Chains A and B, each alone.
Chain A
Amino acid sequence: MSIQITIDGQPVVTEAGENLVDVAAQNSVYIPTLCYLKGKPCLGTCRVCSVRVNGHFTAACSVPVTEGMQVEVDTAELADMRKALIESLFSEGNHNCPSCEKSGRCELQATGYEVGMVVSRFPYRFPLRPREVAADHIWLERDRCIFCQRCVEFIRDRQTDQKIFAIKGRGTAAQIEVNTELANRMPPEQVREAADICPVGCIIEKGVGFNDPIGRRKFELQSVRERALGEEES
């Protein structure tokens, strides 16, 4: 059913039930995201897509649009909140971009640039997060995990449908785990899928890294904003 909503005061015609992030992108409005994957169930974990809908704060990726919805995206208050959430993710983990395999291909880094982040306003915590290297083709650089849950929800063993990745513990003690046995029988393309689905450099494919020269890396060729908006146009 065709409906009309407004985004930052601009009328937008769309279909009822579409995802607000997608609707915005179709209309050239970029809403930063870190956990959302188009076409997959909403995870709603990062909150970096926070907007106001009819005056209330909400995560855009969790909103199916309905008739008459009034959406605010581009206000100083909201922009600062989204930026603060990204900063919070940086101070919560340990991110040393210059030495990171994912640098230039990392959604957290790219989104940080996109929202104009320079340094985190929150004190860096320097948590101790041991890496996990037991599997043959994958290792976990836990310093960089942002607990988005993408790997947990979307990567499964193809024979048994079991989870391969899982979170252990909660709060400051939480950490991402991988089942070594299941990881070792992931076919190469699934290994790559896992490394790609991870928005940061936590799931890393062994033997691969720093492959693209600086200047030719994913988000240097096309920014995260351009990608978010561009994919829709083609």
Chain B
Amino acid sequence: MNNRIQAIIQRYQTDRTRLLDMLWELHHLYGYLPDEALSELADGLNMAVEDVRETSSFYHYFHHRSTGSYTLYLSNTVIARMQGYQEVLDALERETGATLGEMDPSGTFSLYDTPCIGLSDQEPAMLVDEVVFTRLTPEKVSGIISQLKCGRSPEEIANPRALPKADIAYIDQLVGTNICKAGPVFFHKGNDFPELLKNCLDAGPEAVIAAITQAQLRGHGGAGFATGLKWKLCREAPGATKYIICNADEGEPGTFKDRVLLTRSPQAVLMGMVLAASVIGAREGIIYLRQEYIYLKAYLEQQLQLFREQQLLGKNILGRADFNFDIRIQMGAGAYICGDESALIESCEGKRGTPRVKPPYPVEQGYLGMPTCVNNVETLVAVTRVMQEGAEWYQSLGTEDSRGCRLMSVSGDCQRPGVYEIEWGTSLNQLLTLVGAEDPWAVQISGPSGECVAVDKGGERRFGYGDLSCNGSVMIFNRSRDLLGIVKHFMQFFVDESCGICTPCRSGNVDLRNKMERIIAGRGCQQDLDEMVSWGELVRSTSRCGLGGTSPNPILTTLQQFPELYQAKLTEQSGVLLPSFDLEAALQGNERARIELTHHDYIPRELIQDPETEK
């Protein structure tokens, strides 16, 4: 019996719904999840070890083989690739001696790439354990790695003044927040939250719902669901208790505005959660924070503590006997799909991040089976502001069908990447001017799951739920960029991030990515394009959740906006064979079989290598 593992199990009271936290503790203990440790954890929780591994093997940041003393995750985004990713990767491999995906022979460094870590305005960027380094260059990499080799910790390198981790100065030292344009709604200063909460409690939950509904506030997480209605449904749903969850998973490549809000306006986020709790009747709240933002955790814990000290959290909030509410932070472990609210709830319950079958919806049966309200970080701040300034004020911003403002995370080919607050109704061209876009050609709106817009065709389109309903990610590409390569990169992202539970998304995205590779290689014909469209429609229509529901978009929207790019890549079919059919490669199997048959000592490669050990 291992005392440390037993202590972990006890700390979480043998509660298997806290499996993610327990796995993290094991991971911190060993640097990975050794089989024996998983077995002991499984025993302690009355689970089969396969069941524990079912969860642990789902998340990118959990390793099942030993890792080096330092684990490096280089952000692999299309933006990083435009800004020196390859040179940085080469330097990392050279300096550490580790190849991508492996550990170096001395066991000092493990090197991985990882999807967007929410720093598109300061790529190339990487995480070294729990510390982040941005704007990397080969020189900077040499400096970091040589210091690590000399025994300095990542913290010491990134934080030479040893600022406390709970300090905002610590975060500012690691990353830039780059608020290029603030507006009326977000990043507001001079708040009196006790006063605001008191007023809202006095007015009562119905009044709060009425105000949010009147403001026509819609969720900023992507789906645009009416926030007032969501709160009302959750309030009215029967349940012994209820939960409010702040969705801080921000996994859509290209977005980083939630990170900036959590850094610059954390209390406005918390205030939104407290208001939600008072309305729906929650006693517990969760901030689901993506592992990529681990360096914000101590700071956020500190903000929670400040809230408790002001009686804005905890028992008897503002002295009211019937209002008890507190918040915990749940760390994710690397999975884009956990941004989906029902997958996020599964993850909070210690399981794989698999989107649930709906109905029931989270507002009816969510976390631990209880009515649960999941809101995006930005939505919660907007709620706070609506309650501060009033519904009419909020309604006066934006347009008829899209009230208020929204934050844009802008990256790519422009002079001033960063966060912009714009009113709904702003046109794409206006935004491009604002950010100093250089010869913009294509703009990826809402990340890979959104749409690609040709600037000359769609520049006058306006942001809003009726047209360009952006989730906050805006990536700008100029004419020098390889758009088809970007599309392929996005498709690979979906292949890697599909939770895999449903057929069309798990299997279909692989076919779509392979088709894209074929087109780019110049071996595709018109039939391939037609099939991409029809297979894309299949995936989009029959998938279980929004990931598969949007994953064909990179192909479908570029095919529609830039058909000439695809046409230029096509080849004509000559003769009976499809251009993609490689006769020589096909015949090689025969050649290999002949060798196998004539050399009796020949053992096929796949029989020698146990795929288990390759993992």
> Which residues of A come within 8 Å of B, CB atoms?
42-48, 50, 57, 59, 62, 64, 81, 84-85, 88-89, 91-92, 121-123, 125, 128, 130, 146-147, 149, 152, 157, 160-174, 177-179, 182
A48 to B503, Cβ gap below 8 A?
yes
Which candidate, B128-136, B538-546, B555-563, is the interface stretch facing chain A?
B538-546
B358 to A168, Cβ gap below 8 A?
no
A64 to B359, Cβ gap below 8 A?
yes
CA distance A121 to B528 in the complex (A): 12
SS class, residues of chain B in contact with chain A: helix
CA distance A84 to B504 in the complex (A): 9
B48 to A164, Cβ gap below 8 A?
yes
CA distance A183 to B58 in the complex (A): 23
The 8 closest A-B pairs by CB, nearest first: A166-B50, A44-B357, A166-B54, A57-B541, A179-B48, A163-B51, A92-B507, A170-B500
Q: Which of A92, A125, A130 contacts B610 (CB 8 A)?
A: A130
A-B contact pairs, 16 of them (CB 8 A): A43-B357, A45-B544, A57-B541, A123-B514, A128-B611, A130-B610, A130-B612, A149-B501, A157-B48, A164-B48, A171-B495, A171-B506, A172-B495, A174-B500, A179-B50, A182-B48
B502 to A168, Cβ gap below 8 A?
no
CA distance A61 to B605 in the complex (A): 43
Q: A44-B502, A47-B503 are in contact. List 19 more A-B contacts (CB 8 A).
A: A42-B357, A44-B357, A45-B544, A47-B504, A47-B542, A50-B541, A50-B542, A62-B359, A89-B503, A91-B507, A92-B506, A92-B510, A160-B46, A163-B47, A167-B500, A170-B498, A170-B499, A173-B615, A174-B506
Q: How would residues 583 to 615 of chain B score, 1 for a CB under 8 Å from any chain A CB and 0 otherwise?
A: 000000000000000000000001000111001
**Does B511 count as interface, using CB distance less than 8 angstroms?**
yes
CA distance A32 to B575 in the complex (A): 39
A130 to B611, Cβ gap below 8 A?
yes
CA distance A89 to B503 in the complex (A): 7
**How close is A142's CB to chain B, nearest CB, in angstroms?**
10
B46 to A125, Cβ gap below 8 A?
no
CA distance A64 to B54 in the complex (A): 29
**How close is B332's CB to chain A, nearest CB, in angstroms?**
15
**Across-interface contacts of B48 in A (CB, < 8 A):** 157, 162-164, 166, 179, 182
A62 to B358, Cβ gap below 8 A?
yes
B501 to A166, Cβ gap below 8 A?
no
**Across-interface contacts of A174 in B (CB, < 8 A):** 500, 506
**Does B200 count as interface, using CB distance less than 8 angstroms?**
no
Closest to A156 in B: B48
Candidate in B352, B499, B504, B535 with the most chain A CB atoms within 10 angstroms: B504
**Does B266 count as interface, using CB distance less than 8 angstroms?**
no
CA distance A182 to B357 in the complex (A): 29
B503 to A59, Cβ gap below 8 A?
no
**Across-interface contacts of A121 in B (CB, < 8 A):** 531
B58 to A170, Cβ gap below 8 A?
yes
**How close is B39's CB to chain A, nearest CB, in angstroms?**
11
**How close is B23's CB to chain A, nearest CB, in angstroms?**
14
> Which residues of B come within 8 Å of A, CB atoms?
46-51, 53-54, 57-58, 352, 357-359, 495-496, 498-504, 506-508, 510-511, 514, 531, 535, 538, 541-544, 606, 610-612, 615
**Across-interface contacts of B500 in A (CB, < 8 A):** 147, 167, 170-171, 174
A147 to B54, Cβ gap below 8 A?
no
B507 to A89, Cβ gap below 8 A?
yes
With contacts A47-B543, A123-B514, A166-B54 known, is A85 near B503, CB below 8 A?
Answer: yes
**Across-interface contacts of B502 in A (CB, < 8 A):** 44-47
Q: Which of A85, A130, A173, A178 contacts B504 (CB 8 A)?
A: A85
A146 to B50, Cβ gap below 8 A?
no
**Across-interface contacts of A166 in B (CB, < 8 A):** 48, 50-51, 53-54
**How close is B112's CB to chain A, nearest CB, in angstroms?**
15
B50 to A168, Cβ gap below 8 A?
yes
CA distance A46 to B357 in the complex (A): 12
**Across-interface contacts of A57 in B (CB, < 8 A):** 541-542
Closest to A86 in B: B503
Closest to A57 in B: B541
CA distance A91 to B500 in the complex (A): 15
**Across-interface contacts of A161 in B (CB, < 8 A):** 46
**Across-interface contacts of A59 in B (CB, < 8 A):** 542, 544
CA distance A1 to B496 in the complex (A): 45
Closest to B501 in A: A45
**How close is A182's CB to chain B, nearest CB, in angstroms?**
6
CA distance A84 to B358 in the complex (A): 23
Q: Which of B496, B501, B507 contacts A88 (CB 8 A)?
A: B507
CA distance A217 to B496 in the complex (A): 40
CA distance A130 to B614 in the complex (A): 13
B47 to A168, Cβ gap below 8 A?
no
CA distance A41 to B106 in the complex (A): 50
CA distance A123 to B524 in the complex (A): 14
CA distance A169 to B498 in the complex (A): 11
Closest to B497 in A: A171
**Across-interface contacts of B359 in A (CB, < 8 A):** 62, 64
**How close is B524's CB to chain A, nearest CB, in angstroms?**
13
**Across-interface contacts of B610 in A (CB, < 8 A):** 130
**How close is B82's CB to chain A, nearest CB, in angstroms?**
26
**How close is B588's CB to chain A, nearest CB, in angstroms?**
14
Closest to A130 in B: B611
